[in-house]
């Protein structure tokens, strides 16, 4: 399988700048397979010089791109999406090889990623302005929306393709050009996307991909007066640094940062539905999503039933190489990720947590494996309740009163996603309104899709991606005042 992937035309060990494939003369970054540690290839370790070239290319391409009609941009985005779907199997295999996620999930991500292009292909046509009643006779006040200009995106390894299309789809639809810096752990999916951009006919310089030294590339983006917008998905720590640096040129910034999602199960919920939802919201991408559940808060009367049923469902998870049939839990991205989950398990057990299932890392398999783990008797002083685990660890914390659950859920500086299960409609509204999160799943655990606004409150970020709001992040409102 590896040979087939690395010999395909989608496997590029070069950056895509100004419509050209550029290799490094000096430094490279090795990329490995998290399932076994094998090096699968390398990409250029570019720095400030090449980033400045990419910025210039994006700036040069801007006037012609922003002059295209919305219908033309829409058609190109749609074509790009169709190519992704046509080659979904090859793109998914490449993603599994570098990211580790089970092939079924990788394929689902390609479909999800393409949906952002088709969504924004439509939204491009709906970037409406307004007419506003004038204040003087004969005067006319109107607004138009225009793309912000040259954009930069810094994207994560957990969703190597969809986090790019969510940003680039909106940027291109708005008439902006973009430079993407993918995570060094998963650059090949980004470069494969560039292969298809070329085939779809996206003009040179409109979509660029640069790999390399993350801090040098980010510093070049924020030091540039040409880059007008930066969009970042990643940690709160890096997001905060980027925001500070973006202040130099008052760059617009969108930040999709960490989460610490609570999942509340009330005693009036259907426990079977809550367990099914818990499995999906906790174990998608082996727990490595910003919206994955970090803390299960379960009302005491139903806690034994929920715990028992969750343990049964978790025992059926199959851990292994993402290419193997039936596997639904895969290697984590690197050893540090395994160590973090281990630390959270050890800390929870040391603080009185009861280990129900798992708790073992499996380095003997050669990859970054850790068993899905369930801990009961959790409490809010445990590290797992204060920090994002980003792995397959589920901790159950019992509670008595609704107000107690809400207080615990909100007791974090982060506010990305929250979930709860209840069959009481009054409680559903009441709790949904009180949870401090940008996204709330109510008897629903898969909340991400192109038509919905993705984003957080508090230290989880700024701005929204996807939906009609996602386009606005890449547009300015210009007010025109016509005198009499
Ligand atoms: C993320 O983990 O950042 C995003 C996942 C999603 O789109 O659901």
CA angle 311, 345, 402 (to 5 degrees): 65
Cβ 159 under 6 angstroms from ligand 1: yes
Residue in 15, 79, 151, 290 annotated catalytic: 290
Q: Which residues of 214-247 are buried (b: 16+ CB within 10 A; e: fewer)?
A: eebbbbbbbebeebbbbbbbbebebbebbbebbe
Identify whether the C-beta of residue 281 lies closer than 8 Å to the C-beta of residue 420: no
Percent pLDDT > 90 in the chain is: 97
Average pLDDT, whole number, for the chain?
97
pLDDT in tens, 375-406: 999 999 999 999 999 999 999 999 999 999 99
Q: How far is the CA of 110 from the centre of ligand 1 (A)?
A: 13
Q: How far is the CA of 68 from the centre of ligand 1 (A)?
A: 31
Q: Compute CA distances 208 → 10, 32, 56, 57, whole Å.
A: 16, 23, 11, 8
Model pLDDT, residue 116: 98
Supply the residue whose CA is at minimum distance from atom 5 of ligand 1. Answer: 289
Nearest to 348 by CA among 300, 303, 380: 380
Separation between Cα atoms, residue 447 and residue 263, nearest integer Å: 13
pLDDT in tens, 279-328: 999 999 999 999 999 999 999 999 999 999 999 999 999 999 999 999 99
Identify whether the C-beta of residue 455 lies closer than 8 Å to the C-beta of residue 439: yes
Residue in 105, 109, 256, 402 annotated catalytic: 256
Q: How far is the CA of 289 from the centre of ligand 1 (A)?
A: 5
Separation between Cα atoms, residue 254 and residue 152, nearest integer Å: 10
The two beta strands, 130-132 and 252-256, are unpaired
Residue among 116, 157, 158 to mutate when testing ligand 1 (max atoms within 8 A of CB)? 158
Q: What is the mean pLDDT of residues 189-198?
A: 98
pLDDT in tens, 61-119: 999 999 999 999 999 999 999 999 999 999 999 999 999 999 999 999 999 999 999 99
Counting from 1 in the atom list of ligand 1, the atom nearest the Cα of 448 is 8
Q: How far is CA 290 from the centre of its chain?
A: 7
Q: Annotated catalytic, 290?
A: yes
Counting from 1 in the atom list of ligand 1, the atom nearest the Cα of 112 is 7
Q: Which residues of 399-409 are buried (b: 16+ CB within 10 A; e: fewer)?
A: beebeebbebb
Residue among 111, 112, 159, 239 to mutate when testing ligand 1 (max atoms within 8 A of CB)? 159
Q: How far is the CA of 11 from the centre of ligand 1 (A)?
A: 24
Separation between Cα atoms, residue 326 and residue 435, nearest integer Å: 36
Q: How far is the CA of 109 from the centre of ligand 1 (A)?
A: 10
Cβ 290 under 6 angstroms from ligand 1: yes
Q: Residue 358 — φ and ψ, nearest 5°?
A: 80, -140
The answer on pLDDT for 365 being more than 70 is no
Question: Which helix (H) or strand (E) covers residue 10, if one does?
Answer: none
Identify whether the C-beta of residue 103 lies closer than 8 Å to the C-beta of residue 93: yes
Supply the residue whose CA is at minimum distance from atom 8 of ligand 1. Answer: 448
Model pLDDT, residue 361: 77
Model pLDDT, residue 367: 85
Supply the residue whose CA is at minimum distance from atom 6 of ligand 1. Answer: 448
Q: Count CA atoms within 13 Å of residue 202 on its CB side.
A: 34
pLDDT in tens, 209-242: 999 999 999 999 999 999 999 999 999 999 999 9
Token pair belonging to 158: 């957990």
DSSP state of 326: T
Q: How far is the CA of 302 from the centre of ligand 1 (A)?
A: 30
Counting from 1 in the atom list of ligand 1, the atom nearest the Cα of 447 is 8
Identify whether the C-beta of residue 183 lies closer than 8 Å to the C-beta of residue 233: no
Cβ 288 under 6 angstroms from ligand 1: no
DSSP state of 478: E
- Burial classification of residue 477, based on how many CB atoms lie within 10 Å of its CB (0-12 exposed, 13-18 middle, 19 or more buried): exposed
Percent pLDDT > 70 in the chain is: 99
Separation between Cα atoms, residue 258 and residue 233, nearest integer Å: 9
Q: Annotated catalytic, 256?
A: yes
Supply the residue whose CA is at minimum distance from atom 3 of ligand 1. Answer: 290
Counting from 1 in the atom list of ligand 1, the atom nearest the Cα of 292 is 2
CA angle 286, 289, 293 (to 5 degrees): 80
The answer on pLDDT for 363 being more than 90 is no
Model pLDDT, residue 2: 81
- Burial classification of residue 277, based on how many CB atoms lie within 10 Å of its CB (0-12 exposed, 13-18 middle, 19 or more buried): buried
pLDDT in tens, 327-353: 999 999 999 999 999 999 999 999 999
Q: How far is the CA of 430 from the centre of ligand 1 (A)?
A: 26
Token pair belonging to 434: 């009180």
Cβ 419 under 6 angstroms from ligand 1: no
Model pLDDT, residue 364: 57
Token pair belonging to 80: 């790009």
The answer on pLDDT for 466 being more than 90 is yes
Question: Which helix (H) or strand (E) covers residue 280, if one does?
Answer: helix 271-283
The answer on pLDDT for 366 being more than 90 is no
| Domains, the chain | 2-257+460-482 (3.40.605.10), 261-449 (3.40.309.10)
Nearest to 390 by CA among 157, 102, 113, 106: 157
Residue among 448, 452, 463, 465 to mutate when testing ligand 1 (max atoms within 8 A of CB)? 448
Identify whether the C-beta of residue 127 lies closer than 8 Å to the C-beta of residue 88: no
Q: What is the mean pLDDT of residues 246-275?
A: 98
Model pLDDT, residue 1: 77
Cβ 448 under 6 angstroms from ligand 1: yes
| Helices (runs of H) and strands (runs of E) counted in the chain | 16, 22
Nearest to 304 by CA among 377, 373, 384, 382: 377
């Amino acid at each position: 399988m590896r040979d087939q992937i690395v010999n395909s035309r989608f496997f590029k060990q070069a950056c895509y700048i100004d419509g050209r494939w550029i290799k490094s003369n000096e430094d490279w970054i090795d990329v490995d397979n998290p399932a076994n540690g094998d090096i699968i290839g390398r990409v250029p370790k570019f720095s400030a010089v090449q980033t400045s070239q990419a910025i210039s290319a994006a700036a040069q391409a801007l006037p012609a791109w922003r002059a295209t009609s919305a219908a033309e941009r829409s058609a190109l985005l749609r074509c790009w999406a169709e190519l992704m779907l046509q080659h979904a199997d090859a793109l998914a295999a490449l993603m599994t090889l570098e990211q580790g996620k089970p092939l079924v999930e990788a394929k689902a991500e390609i479909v999800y990623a393409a949906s952002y292009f088709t969504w924004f292909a439509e939204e491009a046509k709906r970037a409406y302005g307004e007419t506003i009643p004038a204040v003087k006779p004969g005067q006319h006040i109107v607004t138009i929306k225009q793309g912000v200009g040259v954009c930069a995106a810094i994207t994560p390894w957990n969703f190597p393709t969809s986090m790019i299309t969510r940003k680039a789809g909106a940027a291109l639809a708005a008439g902006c050009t973009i430079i993407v810096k993918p995570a060094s752990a998963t650059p090949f999916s980004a470069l494969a996307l560039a292969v298809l951009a070329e085939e779809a006919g996206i003009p040179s310089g409109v979509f660029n991909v640069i790999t390399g030294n993350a801090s040098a590339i980010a510093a070049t983006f924020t030091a540039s007066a040409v880059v007008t917008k930066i969009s970042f998905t990643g940690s709160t720590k890096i997001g905060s640094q980027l925001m500070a640096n973006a202040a130099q040129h008052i760059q617009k910034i969108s930040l999709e940062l960490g989460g610490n999602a609570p999942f509340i199960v009330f005693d009036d919920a259907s426990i079977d539905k809550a367990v099914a939802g818990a499995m999906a919201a906790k174990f998608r991408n082996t727990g490595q999503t910003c919206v994955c559940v970090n803390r299960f808060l379960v009302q005491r009367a139903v806690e034994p039933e929920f715990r028992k049923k969750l343990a049964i469902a978790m025992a059926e998870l199959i851990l292994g190489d993402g290419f193997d049939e039936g596997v639904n839990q895969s290697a984590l991205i690197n050893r540090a990720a395994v160590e973090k989950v281990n630390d959270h398990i050890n800390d929870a057990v040391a603080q009185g947590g009861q280990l129900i299932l798992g708790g073992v890392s499996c380095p003997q398999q050669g990859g970054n494996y850790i068993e899905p783990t369930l801990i009961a008797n959790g409490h809010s002083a445990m590290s797992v309740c204060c920090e994002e685990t980003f792995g397959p660890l589920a901790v159950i914390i019992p509670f008595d009163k609704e107000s107690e659950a809400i207080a615990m859920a909100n007791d974090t500086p982060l506010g990305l996603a929250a979930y709860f299960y209840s069959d009481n409609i009054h409680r559903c509204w009441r709790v949904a309104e009180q949870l401090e999160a940008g996204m709330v799943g109510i008897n629903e655990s898969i909340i991400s899709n192109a038509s919905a606004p993705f984003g957080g409150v508090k230290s989880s970020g700024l701005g929204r991606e996807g939906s009609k709001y996602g386009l606005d992040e890449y547009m300015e409102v210009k007010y025109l005042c016509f005198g009499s």
